[in-house]
Structure 1
Amino acid sequence: MRPRVSVIVPTYNRDVLLRRAIKSVLNQTFDEFEILVIDGAKNDSTKELVRSYGDGRLRYIPQKGRGIANARNLGVKKARGELIAFLDDDDAWKAPKLEAQIELFQNLGRKYGLVYTAFNYYYLRNKKVLGSKRPIASGYVYPYLLKDNITGTSTIMVRRECFKRSGTFREDFITCEDWDMWLRMSRTCLFGTIGEPLVDYSIHSGQFSFGRYLDGRYRMIESHAEINHDPRILSYHLLQIGLLEMFGGKKKSGIQNILRAFSLNPLMKSNLHDIIISMADVRTKIYIMKFLGRL
């Protein structure tokens, strides 16, 4: 019997965190799922960890260490469920997550291809919630995703068929490959939302660097003409990047991007409110704290 949901968990030498992630799936109130652990390190200990559960719903899939986008694509290719959920190995789900998303899918029309939830920023060191990010848009979310990644990959459940229309994760992206994916997908389907935080998104020292994140932001601009050729949207990105660079110590580049942002949109029309909201968001505060070495 095919599982209703395929849960894709990319991992790379993080068995302790992986065990926590798997446990959060096994504790779901909905149990018609399979878990695909995509191991980029092809580590014997990870293989044994998966086998130790003695649960036929867990599948161990070795990968050639070609990055997280490739791991997710491999998972989508191997998945048997009609619905696909993603869980990064350092994140964890609340017990009702899958059930709540399936129930919402049942209540929405077929035009809705993706459901995402609110999530908590969970600081692993002291096991405290630093804040929460709640959905800001549902339905046709494309205009919102042109400016910001409004969700987190570990919150998402998507109809498998959506990848046939939108393509898969771009493997040449260093970071922001998830943002790029959801932006492309938002052109072809509507998004549903759940306002309850059903995911703990972990904050820890092993996450990607500031420089890699900015590389991803620049790649988003380069890869999407809708961003690059719209002065208002491009100015929003450049202003946000510039401010983050200033906090990260890259003052020269930061000032250049801020000046270019205002040259494109001197009065920041349609952007000022969004920038204020974005800079006040707990995510930005966490980025700044990480840049300053306080997290």
Structure 2
Amino acid sequence: MRPAVSIVIPTYNRNKLLTRAIESVLSQGFDDFEVLVIDGAQSNSTRELVRSYGDGRLRYIPQRGKGIADARNLGVKKARGEYIAFLDDDDQWLPEKLGLQMELFKSLPSTYGLIYTAFNYYYLERNKILGTKKPKARGNVYRHLLKDNITGTSTIMVRRECFKRAGLFRMSFPTCEDWDMWLRISRICLFEAIDKPLVNYSIHTGQFSFAKYLAGRYRMIEAHGDIRHDPQVLSYHLLQIGILKLFSGDRTGGKDVLRAFKLNPTMTGNLQDVLGSIFDVRTKIYILKFLNRL
């Protein structure tokens, strides 16, 4: 019998964190699921960890380490459930997560293909919640996603059929491959959201590469004509990138800011949004980690 939900957990030599992630799944009130642990390291210790649970819902799948996008794609291809949820191995679900999403999906028409939730920024080293990110939009969220990744991948549950229509995660992205995926899915279906934080998104040492993040942002611009060819949207991206660069001490950010104002001299619809995003919890964390203060 097919499970209702397939849960994809990519991992790479992080068994301590993986244990925490798996146990947060096994603690769910909703239990009609399978867990696909995609192991990019093909590690015997990870294989044995998964087997040690003695739970037939857990499936160990070795993968030659080609990155997070390929791991998620392999999980999607192997999934048997009608719905697919994603959990990064360093994140943690709260016990109501699957149940609340499944209950909400049952109440929605088939035009809704994805549900995301609020989440906590959780500082692992200090066992402390730094802040919470709330959902910003529902329904047709395409225009919202053109500017910002309003979701969190470990919060998402999506109908499997959406991947058949929108395609899979693109491996050409150094980062932001998840943002690109949700943007493409938002073109074909509606999104719903849960305001309650149901995921702890982990912040920890060695997690963040500022250079790779910026490369991913530039790749988003390159990949999406609706970003490149809309002066307001493009100026938003460039202004945000430029300010982040300047905060981190990279003076080339001034060129991005200047180009942003040339595209949209009055910054109509942008300046307030960018300033809000610059000072939200996520961006503060990025800057602090870049400066080695977190």
TM-score category, normalised to shorter length: over 0.9
Cα offset, 1:287, TM superposition: 1.1
Cα offset, 1:206, TM superposition: 2.5
**C-alpha distance in structure 2 between counterparts of 1:255 and 1:90, whole Å:** 35
Q: Show structure 2 runs of 5+ residues with no match.
A: none
**C-alpha distance in structure 2 between counterparts of 1:279 and 1:248, whole Å:** 12
Moved over 4 A (4+): none
**C-alpha distance in structure 1 between counterparts of 2:90 and 2:186, whole Å:** 26
Cα offset, 1:280, TM superposition: 2.3
Matches within 5 A, 1:239-254: 239-251=239-251, 253-254=252-253
- Count of residues in correspondence between the two structures: 294
3-state SS, counterpart of residue 195 of structure 1: strand
Cα offset, 1:275, TM superposition: 1.1
Matches within 5 A, 1:174-253: 174-251=174-251, 253=252
Cα offset, 1:248, TM superposition: 1.6
3-state SS, counterpart of residue 284 of structure 1: helix
Cα offset, 1:202, TM superposition: 0.2
Cα displacement string for residues 6-50 of structure 1 (whole angstroms, at most 9, x for unaligned residues): 000000010000000000000000000000000000011000000
Amino acid in the other structure paired with 2:264: N
Cα offset, 1:249, TM superposition: 1.8
* Contact 2:227-2:234 within 8 A present in 1 as well: yes
Amino acid in the other structure paired with 2:234: L
Amino acid in the other structure paired with 1:116: Y
Cα offset, 1:172, TM superposition: 1.2
Cα displacement string for residues 180-222 of structure 1 (whole angstroms, at most 9, x for unaligned residues): 0000000000001000000000001131300000000000000
Match of 1:273 in 2: 272
Amino acid in the other structure paired with 2:80: R
Cα displacement string for residues 59-93 of structure 1 (whole angstroms, at most 9, x for unaligned residues): 00000100000000000000000000000000000
**C-alpha distance in structure 1 between counterparts of 2:287 and 2:64, whole Å:** 34
**C-alpha distance in structure 2 between counterparts of 1:113 and 1:40, whole Å:** 28
3-state SS, counterpart of residue 70 of structure 1: helix
**C-alpha distance in structure 1 between counterparts of 2:125 and 2:80, whole Å:** 36
Cα offset, 1:247, TM superposition: 1.5
Match of 1:291 in 2: 290
**C-alpha distance in structure 2 between counterparts of 1:82 and 1:125, whole Å:** 36
Amino acid in the other structure paired with 1:78: K
**C-alpha distance in structure 1 between counterparts of 2:236 and 2:124, whole Å:** 32
3-state SS, counterpart of residue 236 of structure 2: helix
* Contact 1:247-1:291 within 8 A present in 2 as well: no
Using structure 1 for the length normalisation, give the TM-score: 0.99
Cα displacement string for residues 82-111 of structure 1 (whole angstroms, at most 9, x for unaligned residues): 000000000000000000000000111100
Match of 2:5 in 1: 5
**C-alpha distance in structure 2 between counterparts of 1:206 and 1:26, whole Å:** 27
CA RMSD across the alignment: 0.6
Cα offset, 1:273, TM superposition: 2.1
- The worse-fitting range, judged by mean Cα deviation, of 101-110 and 203-212 is 203-212
Matches within 5 A, 1:1-295: 1-251=1-251, 253-295=252-294
* Contact 1:29-1:96 within 8 A present in 2 as well: yes
**C-alpha distance in structure 2 between counterparts of 1:159 and 1:38, whole Å:** 20
* Contact 1:11-1:37 within 8 A present in 2 as well: yes
Using structure 2 for the length normalisation, give the TM-score: 0.99
* Contact 1:91-1:201 within 8 A present in 2 as well: yes
